[in-house]
Amino acid sequence: MMKDLAITDAGVVDKFFSEKLEPVLQRFDDINPPLFYLVTSRDKLKELLKAGWTDPRFYYNRAADSVQYSSAINLTTEGMADDVLLPAVYDDTVTPEKKRQALTGLVHAAETGVAQSVSGRSMAIAQLAFVDFIYEQTIKPMNMNRQTEWFGIGLSGVLSSRYISQLTGVSLDQFLVNMTTDDPRNPIRSTTIDLLHPTPQSDMRPQAAPAYADAYRRKAARVIVNWIKSAGDDAIPKTITALKQNPPADGETLVKQVKEASGVDLLEEAKPGR
């Protein structure tokens, strides 16, 4: 991190880990939701609800004369978690052994689901912490504007993925593919984005702004990935230092300074069609 971000004071990085990253992750490590299992038949559960028993996870549909329920587990890192009552519903026709197997499977699935949810959310929160750190130490001093901020957005995303990969052992390629590949649900393709002259938000329909921002981030990250592959890791701190010393006023000036510092021209990469 110190090499990539051209940081000379190790205390800055140590402070980030001890005061920002570790406390956040500790909250996830402390998550232990109280899970309870309601083991009953479908008919008995229906009788309970019809008799007036209530729980937010269970709903009796009178029109269909059936019971609907949720097995989702919502995690919280703030304060004590509420009790979670999970349905372990069986048919009266099955054998006791089948009932035991079903309950065992439910418990295993619930515990696995909690672990996976903690893992995924803590990884996402940790990456956001890295993004904030990179922004404060590197991007903010560049005084970037609407035409130049794509470089900082892409760099923060790519480098934060690198650090999360090193912490977790998850493949960096996996992170980068997810970050740079278009979301099939997004009607705006990243290849249509002009990073040097982005569309003003005031010119967009409000409902299109989130889709544009997503495509914009993906293209910015893709340009940075390709830039690092071509220029090499040593170009990162060299370019950061140059941009801090002389913040670019517009997109064309940015790519010119990046080329001078790293030897790689990003002009065509940043244009629409790429």
> pLDDT per residue over 9-23, tens digit each?
999 999 999 999 999
- Identity at 16, one-letter amino acid code: F
Q: Is the pLDDT of residue 74 over 80?
A: no
Q: How far apart are CA 266 and CA 269, in angstroms?
A: 5
- Where residue 192 falls among pLDDT bands split at 50, 70, 90? very high
User: What are the CB-based long-range contacts (under 8 Å, 24+) for 122-125?
Assistant: 122/24, 122/25, 122/28, 123/164, 123/168, 123/170, 125/24, 125/25, 125/28
Question: Among 149, 122, 147, which residue's Cα sits nearest to residue 138?
Answer: 149
Q: How far separated are the first and last CA of the chain, in Å rounded?
A: 29
Instruction: Name the residue ranges covered by the structural domains of the chain.
Output: 35-117, 143-270
Q: How many CB atoms lie within 10 A of CB 201?
A: 12
The overall average pLDDT reported for the chain is: 92
Q: How far apart are CA 119 and CA 100, in angstroms?
A: 29
pLDDT in tens, 96-151: 998 899 899 999 999 998 888 889 889 999 999 999 999 999 999 999 999 999 99
Query: How high is the pLDDT of residue 48?
Result: 92
| Rounded mean pLDDT, 73-78 | 73
What's the pTM value of the predicted model, to 2 decimals? Answer: 0.82
| Rounded mean pLDDT, 60-79 | 81
Residues belonging to the chain? 274
- Identity at 38, one-letter amino acid code: L
